[in-house]
Structure 1
Amino acid sequence: MENSNSPAGPFGMKDKLGYMFGDFGNDFTFILSSSFMLKFYTDIMGISAGVVGLLMMAARFVDAVTDVTMGQIVDRSRPTKDGKFKPWIKRMCGPVAITSFLIYQSGFANMAYGFKVFWMVITYILWGSIFYTSINIPYGSMASAISADPKDRAELSTWRTIGATLAGLVIGVGTPMAAYEVVDGNTVLSGPRMTIIAGVFSLGAIVCYLLCFHLVRERVVVEANNRKLEVGNLLKSLVMNRSLLGIIAAAILLLLGMLGMQGMSGYVYPNYYGSAPAQSASALVGNVVMLVICAPLASKLSAKFGKKELSMVSCAFGAGVYLVCLVVNPQNPYVYVGFYSLAYVGLGFFNTVIWAMITDVIDDAEVRNGVREDGTIYSVYSFARKLGQALSSGLIGAVLSMIGYTPDTAFDPVVTKGIFNLSCIIPAMGLGAVALALFFLYPLNKKRVEENVAILERRRRKA
């Protein structure tokens, strides 16, 4: 229940800013990984794109255990003077930042191939499956403890997206400008520069996490779940939760589309268009679209039409934009940037409200089961997002290998044309599939969400 006499005071701007900084910290390492790790290990370390993609997919089997385990740890932990979820952010911000930095060690580029694969596997697993999980699960679950008001949670979702967008601006715009250099007339990634950039971003992540810890206040007392863990019943409950399965499917497909856009940017701009500045411009314009259009309008449009309804239409629009781009095949990189930005409007609305949608799923489970399991449900959802990230990276790595991409063939005309085609086809398929998944699989339309909120309010009054 919500503690109205809490010294934390009423929900306000400090909470929204703090929650924004939390996702800013997450994305200092997450966006760097999704946008540049594949490029770093193929071009700098000389590892096959297929091998890197295979690692990213294989790591998700580890996450299947670590994410749900962390969710159970969070649900069963007792609240402290700082709250139930916040302490984890302070504990784990150092390890997640350090392991992210260790991934991008260009000084090992001349080491044996087996050693480089070993280093990549160990550092990536430690960063993504262990330490990132141990901070991201409590952070995402914390939204329910900051306020019990659905409107406040929707605002937290918006501010979380703003944090991710600002991180995208810093990483997406700044990194290409600093990380690339021209060698023999070709735009190539610099290993030493990437190592420095990763170190700077790791320090930035720690600062953002600490700001989140000090600004956010937990007002809703979430007691430890002391029920005996019965794995069979837990799995049955999760498998039978249609709203959770629907949002999981949509999240995987969203990441396939969104990270497909971001991941292929590292190839289509420098290799097909020969323009690293255009890659920075696409990140800049895409993130400005999120800040200027999606963030201000998402809450209003979802309140009027429903989060599910808004997301279906916007993702279908984004898929259509990329199909048109594929047919037009623009030769000017900045025309391609225009298509990229329009498509970002489509995925941006869904990406803005999706965090509020997961709290709707948690509410729906509580209505049906009578138990609040923020950590467990969020951990399953987090695993789905990681799976989407892995599938995207794995798919990109596999199809790049299929079209014959290697450091030696990176600028061959046949290969670069294949890169352009993939940069349109992957996000078009991903975003189109999101719209279909939401329509057929996700049951929480506007009416159902409002009914669940009313039911939980009545229960809390009686309690």
Structure 2
Amino acid sequence: MEKNIKPFGMKDKLGYMFGDLGNCFSFALASVFFMKFYTDVMGVSPAAVGLMMLVAKVVDAFTDIGMGQIVDRTPPTKDGKFLPWIKRIAGPVALASFMLYPSYFKYMSMGFKLAWMYGTYILWGSITYTAINIPYGSMASAISENPDHRTHLSTWRTIGSQLGNFIIAVVGPMFVYYQDQAGHEVLSGTKMAYFALACSILGIIAYIFCFKLTTERVKIPKSNEKFSFIGTFKVMFSSRALIGLILASLFYLLAVMAVGGMNSYLYPNYFRNVKAMSFVGTTQMVITLIMATIVPKLSAKFGKKEVTVFGLLLSAASFFAAYFLQLEDVKVFVFLVILYQIGITFQGITSWAMIIDVIDDLEVSKSRRDDGAIYGAFSFSRKLGQAAASGLTGFLLTMINYSPETKFDPQVTAGIYNISTLLPAVTILLAAIVYLVIYPLNRDKVYENAEFLHNKRLNK
């Protein structure tokens, strides 16, 4: 670390927060509304949307890891190794996100709509979003080498994510839904397109703040390793820590994305209460802000792995309770959702610091550092969880006979409730089990690795 560079501080935390806020203006938007838009506005079956998302993740297997390799092999500039990518890709990812919601094409042929859906989703998720998210996530290791600083960055990243989620999940439903003549809450395609445009503009602004406020201090040199997908996968599968984090994150994301995606069906269709959907978006924001002051302290005292397992078990228990109680009172259901939100926030805050712990562990054990490639592999696992959630919920919605015509039928809404509760309960429990059984980086091991690498860099 160079002496003339300003020390780590609040500007870095805010800058890193704005980065994930920018991500959320496209990512959270797609998570909450993309499937709902294509099923209810464009008339595409849930199974077809889910299949498309699974196909897109096959592409992501190459683009995520490929982007990581590109980032590792790019020499640093005066702005650093990772920050320049934020400036380069901010505009393209915002434009690609807006193109996901073409309400003006809803009367086109089904073949045209499917082609547009595949093309724009892959352009957004597999190319532009990957090109900005991989360097953004990898950047945490260059901002500071201190494990506690990285936990703070992970915390502020989560705050940025929740600010974005608040706008999408709270403001969004109030703007994009309207009541039809039967009193049902219905998604407006035109309003959805305008909302997507506003989110794209806000996303560019957030990325600009990320670029301006964040400083890279740890000089990570250009990698001279041969560009190899196979080599990256070999490194991935040689690390128990990385395997554990990837599996746990896959199950965690499957749960979180299932909850986010199904909320667009659960509250309007089962509870017939869009306001409750906005309310749980607000509670998640409030809970995250509160937990942001608590989780870093608990993580420093007990360890990131340890507090994460506790939170996951609490979240799983809340949804198992909701499933077995078969609730019709939305207030009681929201109470259990709040317990879920408290528990899941532990993982949300710690996970971004945990991937840097894994990268450190790989450098200690393998004597090589591939921040971009390893983060790319981690990002792919997260996208796989996201796609699995979309694909699985899409197929399950088709199995319960969901369509624009049947979406308020009692047997369909009952199926929506069961998917919305049992699927996340099981997958969150699986994530906790993976951390307990496979992931080895407890508190003592993390600090031991950090001290080893600090001494290694001092002696260079």
Q: TM (normalized to structure 1)?
A: 0.98
Deviation, structure 1 residue 312: 1.0
- Corresponding position of 1:28: 25
Task: Point out where structure 2 has 5 or more consecutive residues left out of the alignment.
Answer: none
Task: Say whether 1:326 aligns with 2:309.
Answer: no
Give the partner amino acid of 2:376: S
- Corresponding position of 1:56: 53
Match of 2:96, SS state, is helix
Match of 1:103, SS state, is coil
For residues 262-281 of structure 1, the C-alpha deviation after alignment (integer angstroms, 9 at most, x for no partner) is 11100010000111111101
Residue of structure 2 aligned with 1:425, choices 410, 422, 425: 422
For residues 93-136 of structure 1, the C-alpha deviation after alignment (integer angstroms, 9 at most, x for no partner) is 00100010001011111100000000000000000000000000
Deviation, structure 1 residue 228: 2.7
CA distance in 2, matches of 1:228, 1:268: 49
Give the partner amino acid of 2:262: M
CA distance in 2, matches of 1:305, 1:365: 22
CA distance in 2, matches of 1:41, 1:230: 37
Matches within 5 A, 1:223-302: 223-292=221-290, 294-302=291-299
Match of 1:331, SS state, is coil
CA distance in 2, matches of 1:231, 1:91: 24
Give the partner amino acid of 2:281: A
8 Å contact from structure 2 (residues 147, 447) kept in 1: no
Give the partner amino acid of 2:196: A
Match of 1:78, SS state, is coil
Match of 1:299, SS state, is helix
Give the partner amino acid of 2:97: S
CA distance in 1, matches of 2:279, 2:415: 22
- Corresponding position of 2:409: 412
- Corresponding position of 2:194: 196
Match of 1:188, SS state, is strand
Match of 2:408, SS state, is coil
For residues 114-160 of structure 1, the C-alpha deviation after alignment (integer angstroms, 9 at most, x for no partner) is 00000000000000000000000000011111112111111101000
Deviation, structure 1 residue 170: 0.8
CA distance in 2, matches of 1:231, 1:327: 45
Task: Say whether 1:304 aligns with 2:301.
Answer: yes
Give the partner amino acid of 2:346: F
Residue of structure 2 aligned with 1:148, choices 132, 138, 145: 145
- Corresponding position of 2:161: 164
CA distance in 1, matches of 2:303, 2:151: 12
Give the partner amino acid of 1:195: A
Deviation, structure 1 residue 214: 0.6
Give the partner amino acid of 2:19: G
- Corresponding position of 1:3: 2
CA distance in 2, matches of 1:393, 1:231: 26
Deviation, structure 1 residue 373: 1.1
Task: Say whether 1:114 aligns with 2:124.
Answer: no
For residues 394-413 of structure 1, the C-alpha deviation after alignment (integer angstroms, 9 at most, x for no partner) is 11101000111011100000
Matches within 5 A, 1:378-393: 378-393=375-390
For residues 19-60 of structure 1, the C-alpha deviation after alignment (integer angstroms, 9 at most, x for no partner) is 000000001110111111000000000000000000111101
For residues 335-381 of structure 1, the C-alpha deviation after alignment (integer angstroms, 9 at most, x for no partner) is 22221111011111111110010010000000011112110100000
Give the partner amino acid of 2:294: L
Q: 146-155 or 390-399: which moved more?
A: 146-155
8 Å contact from structure 1 (residues 286, 340) kept in 2: no
Match of 2:79, SS state, is coil
8 Å contact from structure 1 (residues 268, 420) kept in 2: yes
8 Å contact from structure 2 (residues 65, 229) kept in 1: no
CA distance in 2, matches of 1:426, 1:264: 10
CA distance in 2, matches of 1:89, 1:444: 30
Deviation, structure 1 residue 330: 2.3
Give the partner amino acid of 2:4: N
CA distance in 2, matches of 1:82, 1:445: 34
CA distance in 1, matches of 2:96, 2:229: 31
- Corresponding position of 1:98: 95
Task: Point out where structure 1 has 5 or more consecutive residues left out of the alignment.
Answer: none
CA distance in 2, matches of 1:359, 1:329: 40
8 Å contact from structure 1 (residues 308, 444) kept in 2: yes
CA distance in 2, matches of 1:102, 1:230: 33
Match of 2:99, SS state, is helix
CA distance in 2, matches of 1:4, 1:390: 44
- Corresponding position of 2:341: 344
Deviation, structure 1 residue 231: 4.5
CA distance in 2, matches of 1:235, 1:248: 12
CA distance in 1, matches of 2:177, 2:229: 49
CA distance in 2, matches of 1:231, 1:137: 16
CA distance in 2, matches of 1:413, 1:153: 48
Give the partner amino acid of 1:99: A
Deviation, structure 1 residue 296: 1.2
Match of 1:330, SS state, is coil
8 Å contact from structure 1 (residues 319, 429) kept in 2: yes
8 Å contact from structure 2 (residues 82, 139) kept in 1: yes
CA distance in 1, matches of 2:380, 2:230: 19
Residue of structure 2 aligned with 1:173, choices 170, 174, 189: 170
8 Å contact from structure 1 (residues 295, 349) kept in 2: no
Match of 2:401, SS state, is coil
Aligned residues: 459
8 Å contact from structure 1 (residues 248, 384) kept in 2: yes
Task: Say whether 1:69 aligns with 2:66.
Answer: yes
Task: Say whether 1:84 aligns with 2:81.
Answer: yes
Task: Say whether 1:19 aligns with 2:1.
Answer: no
Give the partner amino acid of 1:202: S
CA distance in 1, matches of 2:209, 2:152: 18
CA distance in 2, matches of 1:236, 1:181: 51
Residue of structure 2 aligned with 1:205, choices 203, 206, 209: 203
- Corresponding position of 1:440: 437
Give the partner amino acid of 1:38: M
